[in-house]
Chain A
Amino acid sequence: MASPELHRFTLPNGLRVVLAPDASAPVVGVSVHYDVGFRSEPEGRTGFAHLFEHLMFQGSESLEKLAHFRHVQSSGGTFNGSTHPDYTDYYQVLPSAALERALFLEADRMRAPKLTEENLRNQIDVVKEEIRLNVLNRPYGGFPWILLPPVLFKTFANAHNGYGDFVDLESATVDDCAEFFDTYYSPSNAVLTVAGDLDVETTKALVEKHFGDVPARPKPERPSFAEPAPQGEVRHEHADALAPLPAIAIGYRVPDPVTDIDGYLAYLVLAGVLTDGDSSRLQQRLVHREGIVIDLNAGCGLFGPLEARDPDTFSITAIHTPEVDASRVVAAIDEELQKLAQEPPSAEELAKVTARWVSTMHKEHDRLTNRTLGLGSAELLFGRAELIHELPERIAAVTVDEVSAAAKALRPDSRALLLVKPTGGTK
């Protein structure tokens, strides 16, 4: 696909900046990615990275509580933030007349957020409601992103619940927030991305004007989160009183996407061969031929591909009929993986996956929010924002033998198997 021009520079305080001009519509996206996610939160403070993300919207030196939202929205823009295993992002997408305002808003909270007891208590309540909404009060809450990591991983960093438990959330203090901000939210630990209708020189000057005097602080040393792959098949049963049907999630380890991106992409293609579309192998067999699975997915990364560093996950999930045992679903998946391991997929199977990825990347690029965030996370995790433009070609370069090898590496003797058991009875 066309590779639009990218401009990058680094401010003296260490802030990395990516500019991606595109004048096709008079709108602009601004994002900041901080190199800290929930893998970095300490024991006893599960959910803290996400809670802190909420606090970053609660005001800063020049902005009273609620002002951030009002200024973005009164400029005709939208905003959000999200917390991932390895990073936390913040974005605004607005008519391009509001570019300087958006930069000002991001700079002000990078420089001097207001971390107060009142806002902390309020946002703990809001986050608890978020967890009730997305996890506690619904069937399959946290499946598989919260439930699978503790089966696949052993260390606290990789295994724990990134939403956090209520006791930990309630224990958070304002001083915890101050320490977290000072440690991880330094400009040298962040990437600023501006994409859309912008003039490069003007934008560069505006970035320098607003972010230039954010005080430099040391870039925190990033720990390795590496741990060995599981020995054997680690099983866990999870009781879900709200779920009407049983479900499984199988988790495997994948190659490190930072050091072996092409190896990682073979798994991405494998996921497509297995579950993308009615003609994919597992859809055909489990959903349509045998009719034992209702909902089926496979993919790299529990938040999507290329959004975390090592160790990352390949997962296959299925909600299946109660008439069959989970072991039959797992056996069928193993059989299909083995077939692929013994005989590589056809060139046409790969052509389908490749063409759909090309489309997917175009569609992502066309949505300014996704384009801005994609460039920012690629720059942060891989040091290469242009990666998102290269992906279609790199995915197309994956060979049938590499996909076969990936299937072979998904071994039953080194994986996690999560079984969700409905316990609510029939209503």
Chain B
Amino acid sequence: MTASAKTHRTAEEIGRTPAGPRPLPELGAQKAARELSTVDEVLPNGLRVIAVRRDTVPMVELRLRVPFADPAGSSAGSQHSAVAEILANTVLTGTASRSRVQIDTELALVGGELDAVVDPERLSFTGNALATGLDTVLDVLRDVLTSASYPADEVERERARLVERIALARSQPNVIAREALQTLLYGDHPYAKEMPEADEVAVVTRDDVAALHAKALLPRGSVLVVVGDVEPAEAVARIGQALASWQGDGEAVQLPPLPEVSGGDVKLVHRAGAVQSQIRLAAQAIPRTDERYPALQLANLVYGGFFSSRLVENIREDKGYTYSARSHPEFTIHGATLLIDADTASDVTAAALLETRYELARLGLVPPTQSEVDVARSYAIGTLLTSTSSQSGLASFLVNLVGLGLGIDWLVAHPQRLQAVTVEQVAAAALEFFAPGNFTGVLVGDAEQLEPKLSALGGVAFQ
């Protein structure tokens, strides 16, 4: 900067005070979170409803999750993904009594929103409104669930728009990497198909969409979570009344079982001219219901699950290879995988992959110390408290848990489970689940630049 007359201190002078370093204050006594007032009930139509009172602000959050998997065993030749995607994008565009504009207007006037998205496992409706507007949101929800009309012109426009949106998504490196990883892990299994192809979308008709709605958008097996400034029993009663007319035969379709993930070479996916690579590794893990899960959760945190982890401290804070590196479990109704993500500049990609594998091996061989485990434990317990302290945070957390077959009792008891984990249990989980040989994955980047170093490193499959 402008180096005229020096008016500022040096960095050394800034970093020192006469008093010298000071001790870190101890933690105070932690108050417990307020107990949740909640009702969990299955309506006569089979819909499970969970209502939780949290009156921090005069709002209400809704999460409806309908299992919505492709009943075919393979996505090859199946139109399910394309039809489901159009359904999610048009279910709120008209009913027997409301147009798209009327739906949005009614919701807006009560400060409300309602959106629908679909993925290989489920169709999810996410909404919120001023608490005084709950009945309006429920009535709109009832209307779309029982009489969505899928106007032909809306379906046609959404079809065109969806093709463009798929192109937009597939231009993102993150999406390219995700699709390549899912295909590597699960091949033609419907779980791998997170987005349809343009030619599949192009032939979807409104009748296809209406037929899928009638067949698959079912209350039995689905769950609705409502969190907010509501009295739980009364909220459940209102929901029961509002959604009584939502009926259907059979049960919403869960994802078929997934093949186990086994270790193997990392597959290089060429992306010409990329200035950064996406490293995406995966291994088989265990569900939250497994008694070893709390130990695995802490082992994952120590590996790469938060900032103070071995992976982040190594490849970001020591070597500067990456801005974002993390590891995390991903759950389905059937089980779980461990995923590792890092994005690194092309010239350090091979070195970053080396360090990522090194830290995997080290986690089992030089297991987390008591202090590392304690840091991870406090983080896991504390962030469970902070992330569920808002209405929307609690609603999203709960609907995910319930979707995995768990409930509020799991959330309430989890801090004690984490407290009980020993370093030995974490070491055992580290050795079993983080062995480098368990992992496979993909690496998206410019193959020409990456190949010499990746060949030397080994364990990488080139196409």
Chain A residues in contact with chain B, CB under 8 A? 1, 24-27, 42, 44-45, 60-62, 65-66, 69-71, 73-79, 93-101, 104, 108, 111-116, 121-130, 132-133, 136-139, 174-183, 197, 213, 241-245, 276-280, 284, 287-288, 291, 294-295, 319, 321, 348, 351-353, 355-356, 358-359, 362-363, 365-368
Residue in A182, A358, A362, A366 whose beta carbon sits within 8 Å of that of B8 in the complex: A182
Is the beta-carbon distance between A112 and B386 smaller than 8 angstroms?
Answer: no
User: B residues within 8 A CB of A27?
Assistant: 385-386, 389
Contact A114 B15 (CB under 8 A): yes
Residues of B near A113 (CB, < 8 A) are 14-15
Contact present for B58 and A362 (CB under 8 Å): yes
Report the Cα distance A178→B1, complex, angstroms: 11
Q: Given A96-B30, A291-B160, A294-B165, A137 and B1 touching (CB < 8 A)?
A: no
Are B157 and A291 in contact (CB-based, < 8 A)? yes
Question: A93 touching B172 by the CB < 8 A rule?
Answer: no
Contact A115:B101 (CB < 8 A) given known A97-B30, A129-B343, A133-B343: no
Rank and list the top 9 A-B pairs by shortest CB-CB distance, nearest first: A76-B382, A125-B320, A359-B111, A352-B108, A182-B8, A97-B30, A130-B323, A26-B31, A279-B104
Does B188 reach chain A (CB closer than 8 Å)? Answer: no
Query: B382–A66 contact, CB under 8 A?
Result: no
User: Which B residues from 109 to 160 make CB contacts under 8 A with A?
Assistant: 109-113, 128-130, 154, 157, 160
**Known contacts A279-B101, A368-B389, A94 near B382 by CB under 8 Å:** yes
Q: A129-B323, A276-B108 are in contact. List 10 more A-B contacts (CB 8 A).
A: A73-B306, A77-B383, A94-B382, A129-B324, A132-B323, A181-B8, A287-B161, A359-B112, A362-B58, A362-B111
Q: Is B391 an interface residue when CB atoms closer than 8 A count as contact?
A: yes
5 residue pairs of the A-B complex, CB under 8 angstroms, read: A74-B308, A77-B379, A122-B317, A280-B104, A359-B59
Whether B15 pairs with A77 at a CB distance below 8 angstroms is no
Q: Which of A65, A69, A77, A278 has the most CB of B within 10 A?
A: A278
Closest beta carbon of chain B to A184's beta carbon, Å:
11
Query: In the complex, what residues of B have CB within 8 A of residue A128's CB?
Result: 345
Q: Within the complex, what minimum Cβ distance (angstroms) separates B297 from chain A? A: 14
If the complex has contacts A27-B386, A284-B101, are A100 and B17 also in contact, measured as CB distance less than 8 A?
Answer: no
Residues on A with beta carbons closer than 8 Å to the beta carbon of B323: 126-127, 129-130, 132-133
| In the complex with contacts A25-B33, A125-B320, A362-B101 CB distance below 8 A | no
Interface size class of B (residues with CB under 8 A): 35 or more
The docked-state distance in angstroms from the alpha carbon of A284 to that of B157 is: 12
Q: Does B307 contact A (CB under 8 A)?
A: yes
Query: Quick one: given A25-B34, A76-B383, are A244 and B10 in contact (CB under 8 Å)?
Result: no
B392 at the interface (CB under 8 A from A): yes
Contact A359 B10 (CB under 8 A): no
Whether B21 sits at the interface, judged by CB under 8 Å, is: yes
Residue in chain A with minimal CB distance to B61: A363
B245 within 8 A of A: no
Are B308 and A70 in contact (CB-based, < 8 A)?
yes
Q: When chains A and B are docked, how far (Å) is the Cα of A111 from the Cα of B59?
A: 41
Report A123 CB to chain B, min CB distance, Å: 7
Partner of A95, one of B101, B103, B318, B385: B385
CA distance A273 to B462 in the complex (A): 52
Are A178's CB and B343's CB within 8 A? no
Q: Among B22, B101, B322, which residue has its beta carbon within 8 angstroms of that of A62?
A: B22
Establish whether residues B8 and A359, one from each chain, have CB atoms under 8 Å apart when the complex forms: no
A243 to B100, CA, bound (A): 30
Residue pair B28, A104 in contact (C-beta under 8 Å): no
Contact status A26-B30, CB under 8 Å: yes
| Contact in complex: B11, A175 (CB < 8 Å) | yes
B393 lies within 8 A of chain A by Cβ: yes
